Chain A
Amino acid sequence: MRKLEVDKILEKNGWSKNKIVGILQDIQDSYSYLPEDILIYISEKLNIPLSQIYSISTFYRAFSLKPKGKYRIKVCLGTACHVRGGYMIAEFLKNKFGILPGETTEDGLFSFDTVNCLGACAIGPIVVINEKYYGQMDVRKTEKIIKGLENEKNKQF
């Protein structure tokens, strides 16, 4: 059951109120989002008002209250990546998926976010898909990778 998994995360963080951000990070990693019922459970277990957990959950970009896609695409729009055409990649993805940054496609396959500088400006524009970094990207290359991911999915089913 879920509770056991969450308890493990709480245990790892010493059941400590002060570690709430770390706890939420772990939840985000395990579930790809912060499920409401889990936030309520944590609030009760650690005796933190739900309003405060909600406040933190909506403050940081790293957290999401809605499930993220199987492939989580991040496009860097930091200054260096932006001037080299990162924004064109972002535009392309918006149109291709018909979603805005922060949203997920209906089939749950892709979600897309923009970020501000990943600290790898020299090889920008950067696109990150799940944990993998792609440098010197443009629209064409992005399109190709996404095609590949879509095909992979078709193969599976």
Chain B
Amino acid sequence: MKSVEIIIDGIKKIVPKRITILKIAQDVGIEIPTLCYHSAIEPYGACRLCIVEIERNGRKRYVTACNFPVEDEIKIETNNENVVKIRKLILELLIAKVGYKGKVKEYAEKYEVEPRFGIGNDDCILCGLCVNVCKEIIGVSAISFSQRGIERKVSSPFEKEPTNCIGCGACSFVCPVDAIKVEDIKNERIIKKINAKLELEKCKICQKPFIPKKLIEYIKNKLGANVLLDIFLICNECKGKNYVDKLLPFSLTGGKK
């Protein structure tokens, strides 16, 4: 693979072509703030927070580090005055949309951002992580963006129960502002934001409903198995207790199951 020499925050480095600025920064140990980036998911470039300055032949430009592939010799500034100014503006706009929530709150504090355009109360910053994790990693695509402009939002088709959702909760897991809540109520898993409602299977040991039946089917399909090992059918609490029982000569739980 061809490589190029770049300078990032004054550090010279030879990097393979087409590597993203964000990856270079991570290698060197420079922290760039991100909201819509996840290492397991294709960069989407939605939040713009990872903005950095690049200089090529004396010309400066601002690009998003997460999805900018390095092609030639450039100088990168990840944290100079201009970059910080833009980042603050982006955070001010995010605060105007969702207020102080999750990672937005963290970064707002770190960059000492005042609410210049007011404090909003939407739940979602439209980063796309939930949509993309469901599509790329889970391979289900139960949800997507709908509408556009100021009405753009994450939703299930027709705002109805998504028939293909397996209730895995990956969307909730990746959300940087905790917009997607997963609740297990009696024998149902409810993900209100995306109108999902799934029947739960009981834990083999304690009988507490804990895993969506559709998720079991999904795992079976992935593994090409007719039956699943108990490890998938026992809830986390019971798994913990069981391991303790097996590993310690004198069980802390008194051997009770």
Q: Which of A47-64 contact B (CB under 8 A)?
A: 49-55, 58-59
Report the nearest A residue to B153, measured CB to CB.
A58
Q: How far is the CA of A58 from the CA of B135 in the complex (A)?
A: 19
A150 within 8 A of B: no
B117-151 interface bits toward A, Cβ cutoff 8 Å, 1 = contact, 0 = none? 00000000000000000010000111111111000
Specify which chain A residues have a CB less than 8 angstroms from the CB of B147 in the assembled complex: 58-59
B82 within 8 A of A: no
A7 within 8 A of B: no
Q: How far is the CA of A49 from the CA of B141 in the complex (A)?
A: 6
Nearest chain B CB to A4 CB, angstrom units:
24
Specify which chain A residues have a CB less than 8 angstroms from the CB of B143 in the assembled complex: 51
Specify which chain A residues have a CB less than 8 angstroms from the CB of B144 in the assembled complex: 49, 51-52, 54-55
Q: How far is the CA of A54 from the CA of B162 in the complex (A)?
A: 12
A36 within 8 A of B: yes
Report the nearest A residue to B162, measured CB to CB.
A51
Report the nearest A residue to B160, measured CB to CB.
A36
Specify which chain A residues have a CB less than 8 angstroms from the CB of B141 in the assembled complex: 49, 51-52
Q: How far is the CA of A65 from the CA of B160 in the complex (A)?
A: 14
Kindly identify which residue among A36, A49, A58, A65 contacts B148, using a CB–CB cutoff of 8 Å. A58
- Are B158 and A36 interface neighbours, CB within 8 A? yes
- Are B146 and A49 interface neighbours, CB within 8 A? no
Q: How far is the CA of A59 from the CA of B157 in the complex (A)?
A: 13
A residues neighboring B (CB under 8 Å): 36, 39, 49-55, 58-59, 65
Cβ-closest 6 pairs across A and B: A49-B141, A51-B144, A54-B157, A55-B144, A58-B146, A50-B157
